[in-house]
Amino acid sequence: MFQDKKLLLAITGSIAAYKSILLTRLLVKAGAEVKIVLTPAACDFVSPLTLSTLSKNNVVIDLANNESWSNHVQLGRWADLMVVAPLTCNTLAKMAHGLCDNMLLATYLSATCPVVVAPAMDEDMWHHPTTIANLKQLEAYGNKVIPVNRGELASGLYGDGRMAEPEAIMQYIQEHYFARQDLAGKKALVTAGPTYEPIDPVRFIGNHSSGKMGLAIAEELARRGAQVQLVLGPSSVTTAVANIKVHKVQTAQEMFEACMKVFPTSDIAVMSAAVADFTPATTNAEKIKKTAGSLTVELTKTKDILKALGQEKRSDQLLVGFALETNNEKEYAREKLTAKNADMIILNSLNDEGAGFGYDTNKITIFERDGGELTYERKPKQQVAHDIVDRIVNRLYA
C-alpha cells in the first residue's frame, strides 16, 4: 500500500504517542520508509529506542547534539509526506504561529512535502476557540487535519479529543495522498439511498436505507480517478470528495429517469439504492383524512432500474447490483445475476450482525458472472467499498 513511500512521522508529547509506535509498525509493514522526529516532551511518553528499532532508522530529537547539527531541511525535503501524530495543543499553536524552538518545528517549517496532523487533546482544549482558530490556520497553510475521535480521555472524562486510531490514520493517508488512480478517465454511475413514493402531500412509502454504502462506493470510485454521477434518493448523507456530481431524486421513477440519462456514457454502474418495488397507483393531491374506517392504497410496480440498465448494457460497460436478502440468500443472489444481466451482485444478508441498513459496517459476498464467489469479513463501509471497487477494477481490466 505504501511501497517506496517516504514518511516522516513527527511525534509530540501526548499520552496518545503510544499509538504512534503501532503506527510506525503499520507503515513499515505496508512498505513505507519511515523516519521519526520527536519533541523532547514526546520522549517522556515513548522511547526513542523503540521507535528507531521499529522504523529501522535513527530518530531525531535535538537541533544539535554535542558534535553534530541535525539537518532539518534535508529531512523535510526527503519525505513524501510529514505526519504529525499525535499533535498536542502546544505544538499546534507553535505550528500555527511559526515558532521554531525544537527540531520538529524546524522540520515542519522547512518541509516542502504535504503535512497532515492527527490532534490529540482533552475535550475542553479541543473545543477552545484558540484551538479551533489554530487548526483553521493550519488548514489555511494547506495542511490536512485528521478528525479526532470521541471516547475516554486521559483526564478520565469522556468526550472529543482522542487521536484517530493508527489504522484510521493509515486509511486517511492512503485515501488522501497515495490513492491508486486506477480508474482515471473512467465514468461511473452510482445509485444510493431509499426512494420515497408519495401517497399524499405528507405521507410516503419508504425504507430504512441510509445511503451510506452507496456513498462510500461513489467516494472510493472518485478517489481512484473516476468521474462519478451519484443519483441519490432522500438521504442526509453528503460528500466533500471531488469528482462526484450528485443528482437528488425522490421517487423510483425519478431515479430511473436520471439513470437512463447517465448510463449510456458510463463505463461502470453500481446500483446500491434500495428502490421501492411498488408505488401508489395515484397520489392524492390533498392530505387523506381519517374519516373512513380503513384505507386501501393500490400499489403498482416501479420500473426495475438495474434490469433496464442490464437490457441496455454494452459489452464495454460493467454493471453491478446489490441483493439484500433474508433467506435463500446465495440462490437469490445468483438468480439476480442472470435475471438482471449484471456482471456482479453484492449480497448482504439481514441475518448477518452489523450488516445492512443504518449500520456503519457491512458484510458482503460478491457473486460474479463467471461463477466467482468471494465472501468478506464484516468491515466498516469504507473498507467494504474498497473491496468492491478492487473487484470492479479487476473485472474492468481482465
Report, as residue numbers or ranges, the catalytic residues.
207
CB nearer ligand CTP, residue 187 or residue 307 = 307
Q: Tell whether the torsion through CA atoms of 316, 264, 318 and 174 is positive or negative.
A: positive
With CA atoms as reference, report the closest residue to 71 among 28, 113, 32, 37.
37
Q: Which of residues 57-76 bind ligand CTP (CB under 6 A)?
A: none
User: What is the closest distance, in whole angstroms, from the C-beta atom of residue 86 to ligand CTP in the complex?
Assistant: 42
Q: Which residue type does 5 have?
A: K
Q: What contacts 280, CB < 8 A, 6 or more positions away?
A: 197, 198, 199, 205, 297, 298, 299, 300
Q: Is 319 near ligand CTP (CB under 6 A)? A: no
Minimum Å gap between C-beta 325 and ligand CTP is 7
CB of 200 to ligand CTP, least distance (A): 22
Length of the chain in terms of residues written? 398
Complex with ligand CTP: residue 173 or 320, whichever CB lies closer: 320
Cβ closer to ligand CTP: 336 or 363? 336
Q: Site residues for ligand CTP, window 145-204 (CB under 6 A)?
A: 191
Smallest distance, ligand CTP to C-beta of residue 275, A: 4
Residues 227-266: x/- map of binding to ligand CTP (CB under 6 A)? -------------------------x--------------
Amino acid letter, residue 260: M
> Applying CB under 6 A, does 302 fall inside the site for ligand CTP?
yes
- Binding part of the chain for ligand CTP, among 48-56, 64-72, 316-324, 381-389 by CB under 6 A, reads 316-324
Q: Which among 43-51, 132-140, 268-276, 383-391 is the span making contact with ligand CTP, rule CB under 6 A? A: 268-276
C-alpha cell at 390: 478492487
By CB under 6 A, tell whether 322 contacts ligand CTP.
yes
Least separation in angstroms between CB 188 and ligand CTP: 15
Handedness of CA 83, 58, 28, 6 (dihedral sign): positive
Does 34 bind ligand CTP (CB under 6 A)? Our answer is: no
Smaller CB separation from ligand CTP, 273 or 393: 273
- Chain residues binding ligand CTP by CB under 6 A are 191, 252, 271, 273, 275, 277, 302, 304-306, 321-324, 336
